[in-house]
Every structure is written in structure tokens, then in C-alpha cells.
Amino acid sequence: MRILITTLFFILTSCSSYTVASLSSNIITYNATGKTNADHVISMLVQKDCKMFRAIKDKEVCVVK
């Protein structure tokens, strides 16, 4: 159930603002670094290593670098 909720959160959050360019950018960034563009921004703001997909595995989203 937690996986479903997390997945829906990513899919439905600002779905109208996603364009082909931003989705493509996220796919390329994720394949290259293992993080989405939002993960990079959050990591930079909090000065930690953050990945939203860690929540699916019941782990901390942000860890100390």
C-alpha cells in the first residue's frame, strides 16, 4: 500500500506542469545519477543526500553525505 501511495504522489503531483522536456530531463538525470531533478534540488537545499525513492524501501529520504 505504501508503494502505491508513493507512486501516486509522484505521478499526480503537478501532473499538469510536466512537459515532455521536463519528463525527458528527469529520465536522463535519473539514469545518469540515480536521482531526479527534484532530488538534486532538495539535496542541495538541505546539504544531504536525498532520494525520494528511498521512502519506498522504508529508508530515510535524506542521509548525511
- Predicted pLDDT of residue 32: 94
- Give the range of the structural domain holding residue 55, as residue numbers without chain letter: 2-63
pTM over 0.95: no
Number of domains composing the chain: 1
Count of beta carbons in the 10 Å neighbourhood of residue 53: 16
**Distance, CA of 65 to CA of 62 (rounded, Å):** 9
| pLDDT > 80? residue 37 | yes
Q: Angle 37-46/20-33 helices, nearest 10 degrees?
A: 70
Confidence category of residue 31, pLDDT binned at 50, 70, 90: very high
- Predicted pLDDT of residue 49: 95
Average pLDDT taken over every residue of the chain: 80
Question: What spatial distance separates the first Cα and last Cα of the chain, rounded to whole Å?
Answer: 30
